[in-house]
Structure 1
Amino acid sequence: MAFLMKCCTLIVNVLCLPLHLIRAVGLYEIYRRIFPFCVYRISITYNKKMYDKKKELFRSLPEFSKPGKQLTILEIGCGSGTNFEFYPPGCRVICTDPNPHFQKYLKKSMDANDQLTYDRFVVASGEDMGAVESESVDAVVCTLVLCSVNNTPQTLREVCRLLRPGGAFFFMEHVVADPSTWSYFFQHVLQPAWQYFGDGCEVTRETWKDLEAAGFSQVKLRHIQAPLMFMIKPHIFGHAVK
């Protein structure tokens, strides 16, 4: 099976040569302008299918606010703001994303969720959010983002830097499937093409291992099979306390 997977992956890589060339000459940046629209449309369907899980995930957010203080949330890779409807009313939100072209769609979500206070939008990668002060937020949120960052351990180090002591990191991510499944096989075979359409998304990551090694005092994590297509069906979600 491993030999067959390698052969099929090689074939897909060869078929992706035009895409490799497009990226090499810098034309892929055109797609990065279109990508926010694609994410905006897809996220509507994702939220419908994952609504109950997202409600469950964010239910404990208010527990991490200081008594008598406004809850401050920083969202990494906020995209079009599809998590805003699940945040507690009255909290303050700092938005970050490496793609500035999301700002148009982010504004729509802000207008639709005026129960929140929006602090600012920072164009920054998950690995380097130096524009935000250390230990300045109660919670960091990251959904469907750790699949596409260049360095997951560094991103988690930034999360720990930003969180105040006792703050929490809330996450929901798709991950690699069990090696005994056909999903695992096709995740690896189709990854060379998938990364282009997902703007760097990798479906073969064992993200839970990075979370468990990140140095949080407590990690509450669940593996689930989401009601989605096989490539992104395996999910983890939960929160980790600094």
Structure 2
Amino acid sequence: MTTTATPSTTPKPFAPHPGRGRFNSLFFAGMGGYINWHMRKQKSTAFAGLPANVVEIGAGVGANLRYLPAGARLTAIEPNPYMHARLTRAARRRKVDLEIRGVVAEGIDLPDASSDAVISSLVLCTVDDPAAVLAEIRRILRPGGRFSFAEHVVARPRTPTRWSQRLLRRPWAWVFEGCSCERDLAGLIRSAGFAGVELRPYRIHSPFVPFNTHIAGTAIA
């Protein structure tokens, strides 16, 4: 018997900001191709062989629809309402059967062990509690299900990238709705209780220096 989660603490609801919400929807619609070009090799590996039914954490405007198999069904956990219209249009173009759930990822309204695959990219940096999100991902994955990810992470100490992350953390977080460039997401994923984790650190080279250190991989529930 499967049950829907009842979090031990009520997750903080997402508070849409009309200005930043619209800006981020427009930004990722306009810059999605550029960002994907830098991440395409790692995403292609991490998202290879996805099943027909996928849950995506923070689907945004649909950057990862291109990696889903033909005829896929996507359940999008996307609390930002300013993303929904563009995401819906992108899914229609890609012929993806889309269901949007406007909840935060710390309290996913899906039953236990109900999902074969969960994906995320550039999302765990923005959530209030990434450890709680990873616990929710484990909860909704069936045994042996996969969580595939491509995320940007904190840089090594005493490097120019790390200095820029520290210097720009507050304006960066304000513009990009809470995004932190200073999270050790590799450590969080490895310690989240998955049966197995494979991840690869890599670096991109872009003018957005705080954004340039990344990981990609797959964790098995």
Q: TM-score, structure 2 length as denominator?
A: 0.88
Displacement of 1:100 in angstroms is: 1.1
The letter for the 1-side match of 2:131 is: P
The corresponding residue for 1:135 is 113
Distance 1:34 1:164, change over 3 A: same
Displacement of 1:28 in angstroms is: 4.8
The corresponding residue for 1:67 is none
Unaligned runs of 5+ in 1: 1-25, 63-70
The corresponding residue for 2:11 is none
Q: SS state of the match for residue 38, structure 1?
A: helix
Unaligned runs of 5+ in 2: 1-14
The corresponding residue for 2:20 is 31
Note if 1:190 corresponds to 2:168: yes
Contact in 1 for aligned 2:60/2:87 (Cα 8 Å): yes
Displacement of 1:55 in angstroms is: 1.3
The letter for the 1-side match of 2:97 is: T
| Alpha-carbon separation, structure 1, partners of 2:36 and 2:129 | 26
Q: SS state of the match for residue 107, structure 2?
A: coil
Note if 1:81 corresponds to 2:62: yes
| Alpha-carbon separation, structure 1, partners of 2:56 and 2:17 | 26
Provide the aligned length of Structure 1 versus Structure 2: 206
Percent of paired sites with the same residue = 31
Q: SS state of the match for residue 140, structure 1?
A: strand
The letter for the 1-side match of 2:118 is: V
* Pair member with larger Rg: 1
Note if 1:205 corresponds to 2:162: no
* TM-superposition CA deviations, 1:43-66 (whole Å, max 9, x none): 22111222222212211324xxxx
The corresponding residue for 1:150 is 128
* TM-superposition CA deviations, 1:12-55 (whole Å, max 9, x none): xxxxxxxxxxxxxx995432233211221122211122222221
Q: SS state of the match for residue 193, structure 2?
A: coil
**The one of 34, 51, 54 aligned to 2:40:** 51
| Alpha-carbon separation, structure 2, partners of 1:60 and 1:224 | 21
| Alpha-carbon separation, structure 2, partners of 1:180 and 1:27 | 35
Larger % of helix: which? 1
The corresponding residue for 2:4 is none
Contact in 1 for aligned 2:20/2:176 (Cα 8 Å): no
Note if 1:123 corresponds to 2:123: no
Q: SS state of the match for residue 80, structure 1?
A: coil
Displacement of 1:126 in angstroms is: 1.1
Q: TM-score, structure 1 length as denominator?
A: 0.81
* TM-superposition CA deviations, 1:168-221 (whole Å, max 9, x none): 001110001110311101101110111011111000111111101100000000
The corresponding residue for 2:29 is 40
* TM-superposition CA deviations, 1:101-156 (whole Å, max 9, x none): 11111022112211x332x10001111112x2221110001100000100011000
